[in-house]
A and B are shown apart, each in its own frame.
Chain A
Amino acid sequence: MTTQQDRPGHAVDKSEPILSVRDLVKEFPIRSRGLVRRVVGAVHAVSGVSFDLHRGETLGLVGESGCGKTTTSRAILHLQPATSGEVLFEGQDLTKLGKEKVRRMRRDMQLVFQDPYASLNPRITVSEIIAEPLKIHGLYGRDGRKTVSDLMQRVGLNPEHGNRFPHEFSGGQRQRIGIARALALKPKVLVLDEPVSALDVSIQAGVINLLEDLQDELGLAYLFVAHDLSVVRHIADRVAVMYLGKIVEVAPTDELFERPLHPYTQALISAIPIPDPRRERERERILIQGDVPSPANPPSGCRFRTRCPLFLTLSEADQGRCVNEEPPLVPRGLGDRHPAACHFARVQDVL
């Protein structure tokens, strides 16, 4: 594989991961009705997710609604404490730190939200929004104003507009305000939760370019949570595909799109329309049946087997294996950097 991106200045430091997630589990209790509200079950939102994020790298975390990608990102930031598992940031386990230490740690890890309308306080000015994290962490000193105006400039906004309110800005600009706020504490990792999916395409492109520039200038690592695979292919160095609370495949971006191993990855890529009429009309689509099963009661063995097109073609003995034995996420003949969680993984070209 050649290098992922032809962005000069984009460098991934592969030596030591800045963030390691190990066997992360997040369950939400299901309670009975009535007064006592006993716990009668659990929604298995995230069931044993592990991955590494390196300095300067963009890891795309993709999947459909309900697959647990947002819950994963929230659990990593300790916004919804994980049920079990480890989140190692520069070697320190976040899940075991006290409240005060977690707060300090948050300087290094910031979140950008999906909806730029709901995530900005409409009653305070943009300068105040961006200054807020600095004030909370006691870093808004004498040159605080300058820091804020620099941040606005950095995200492509006019610093003179700092005393305006969020409603005076367009959707794309509001998302930039959210990014400026996230950058205020000079973090090392940004968790981006669907940062461009609420924006029109022509506006979205500007925000993507901005994120690329910021990464190159500041050496940030991105955990890019998204359902739009076209955006992920554009921006990510590696991609992890999630299905029903588990990672089913991880690979360097071009490798994943050109040689997907897992039947779910193949179906997902093949379902995405390409804005090129001739190519789009020639493509064979892998249609998967039905909908995602309930995470309260996931299927045994491989969680994708109930919708898997490959499963239907297997012999009875092989199907039994899918039903009874959970496939581990291990390399399947395409090298250590490309593991997949399927007993019968084989490459299929779906573009």
Chain B
Amino acid sequence: MTQSATTTDTVLSVRDLTVDFPTGDGVVHAVRGVSYDLRPGEVLGIVGESGSGKSVTSMAVMGLLPKTARTSGSVRFRDEELLGLTDKEMTRVRGSKIAMIFQDPMTSLNPVYKIGFQLAEAVLAHNDVSKQAANKRAIELLEMVNIPQPDRRVEQYPHEFSGGMRQRVVIAIAMANNPDVIIADEPTTALDVTVQAQVLESLRAAQRETGAAMVLITHDLGVVAGQADRVLVMYAGKPVEIGTVEDIYYNPRMPYTLGLLGSLPRLDKRDQQRLTPIHGSPPSLVNLPPGCPFTPRCPLAAAVCQAREPDLEPVDGSGFTAAGLRIHLSACHFKEQVARHDPADLFATSASDAELPADFGSGPGLVEPPLEDDGSEDELR
């Protein structure tokens, strides 16, 4: 890796993080070497398809992986190494220094406790204050995420809140102890668009209020475009490109990124070109062949791609960070060639998909369907 960790301007520094899960079919290499630095107040978007390892990466950072997982590498919060800490030691960090927001607000709130209790619990966990003070803080927090009548709302249970409001409660809990880093894992995926807009607004407010840096994990390239300062693209457990949002969206240097952008239907374009899907499926993470894992789906693939997996290296003309490091990196043997292409030149627009995925049963290509909740069907249940 070309970036080196400098402790002054990074809050979170991840180096060569790997996560393996031993299973009956062999070892799943879910994360195969992720490195990034998070600067104070910055929003880093992590994008990738299901199974690319974006969630596992952040679970590893938070120390929330199951005991069977094998992790290696380094995760430093300021000067403190987090990897290898005991659960008890991690509890001190979780919530107060790094907070996490999960995808599904129904499962991340406890259904049998009042909202106010759950907020106060987060405050009391890290601060030596009275219960009254914690309750007062709970009401303040709800107000900050724009929940009307917070003094009445703290007395209610999660089921009395709508999906969007629940997620705002989770955001309020995350900001309860003014963390330095907020990790948001698909925070709006389960929500409707108009509610998503409200929640993103609250998330922004939370970030402004606490001055925290944020890691925003999502598969929605639209959300990332609006929220992130820098973007990390993941494929098959590895970062394949990292850069500023402008670098990634206007000057992608990895065929996978280019393909992703080309496969997006656009809301704002009148002359709709045919979409350019990326053919095939992501590889199985159990038996990865040598070389670049994108090779079987890549239109630029050559012999060298099968022989050697490219490292993340600076692209020509990349900008520099304050510390003099290159911002825009890509893991592709042909990164300079990619610059000359539109998605349509490289990717075929044909509609066939005849090849079976390598990994039967794990179902690549499927993301969690949004919680479709037709009011009409409630009655039938």
Chain A interface (Cβ within 8 Å of chain B)? 5-7, 26, 28-30, 43, 45-46, 64-66, 68, 70-71, 114-117, 156-158, 161, 164, 167-173, 176, 194, 197-210, 212-213, 227, 229-231, 233-235, 254, 257-258, 267-281, 285, 287-289, 291-292, 294-296, 351
Contact = CB atoms under 8 A, between A and B. Distances in A.
A201 B164 contact: no
Interface string B229-272: 00000000000000001100110000000011111111111111
Given A43-B375, A43-B379, A205-B275, 12 more contacts: A64-B194, A71-B377, A158-B355, A198-B367, A202-B260, A203-B353, A205-B262, A206-B353, A209-B277, A227-B370, A273-B225, A275-B261
B167 to A, nearest CB: 12
Given A26-B376, A271-B193, A273-B222, A287 B201 contact: yes
Interface in B339-381: 349-357, 360-361, 363-367, 369-380
A204 B265 CA distance: 10
Nearest to A172: B365
B216 interface: no
Nearest to A244: B375
Contacts of B264: 201, 205, 230, 275
A291 B350 CA distance: 41
A258 B270 CA distance: 9
A158 B349 CA distance: 18
B221 interface: yes
B117 to A, nearest CB: 23
Interface residues of B, number: 75
Nearest to A164: B356
Contacts of B276: 205
A233 B267 contact: yes
30 contacts: A65-B371, A66-B376, A68-B376, A71-B374, A168-B361, A173-B365, A176-B353, A198-B369, A199-B366, A199-B367, A201-B49, A201-B260, A204-B277, A205-B263, A205-B275, A209-B275, A209-B350, A231-B265, A271-B197, A272-B193, A273-B226, A275-B224, A275-B225, A275-B261, A275-B264, A276-B225, A277-B246, A280-B222, A287-B198, A295-B375
A276 B249 contact: yes
B363 A203 contact: no
A65 B371 CA distance: 8
Contact of A170 (B262, B351, B364, B374): B364
A85 to B, nearest CB: 15
A219 B225 CA distance: 37
A208 B275 contact: yes
Contacts of B46: none
A349 B267 CA distance: 13
A131 to B, nearest CB: 20
A28 B375 CA distance: 10
Contacts of B369: 114-115, 194, 197-198
A30 B381 CA distance: 11
Given A68-B376, A170-B365, A275-B225, A156 B268 contact: no
A153 B378 CA distance: 40
A200 B353 CA distance: 14
A10 B5 CA distance: 56
A64 B354 contact: no
Contact of A30 (B266, B374, B379): B379
Given A173-B353, A295-B376, A206 B222 contact: no
Contacts of B226: 273-274, 277, 280-281
B196 interface: yes
A200 B219 contact: yes
A234 B361 contact: no
Of B195, B268, B271, B363, chain A has the most CB atoms within 10 Å of the CB of B268
Contacts of A176: 353
Contacts of B79: none
Interface string B131-168: 00000000000000000000000000000001111000
Nearest to A168: B360
A200 B49 contact: yes
Given A68-B376, A280-B222, A285 B356 contact: no
Contact of A227 (B192, B219, B353, B356): B192
B17 interface: no
A288 B195 CA distance: 8
Contacts of A234: 265-266, 272, 275
Nearest to B263: A205
Contact of A202 (B49, B268, B349): B49
A208 B349 CA distance: 11
Contact of A70 (B365, B374, B378): B374
A229 B267 contact: yes
A277 B375 contact: no
Nearest to A26: B376
A7 B304 CA distance: 38
Contacts of B220: 273
Contacts of A280: 222, 225-226
Given A43-B379, A66-B374, A227-B193, A171 B267 contact: no
A46 B269 CA distance: 32
Contacts of B274: 7, 209, 212
Contacts of B223: 273
Given A161-B356, A206-B277, A291 B195 contact: yes
A171 B279 CA distance: 13
B50 interface: yes
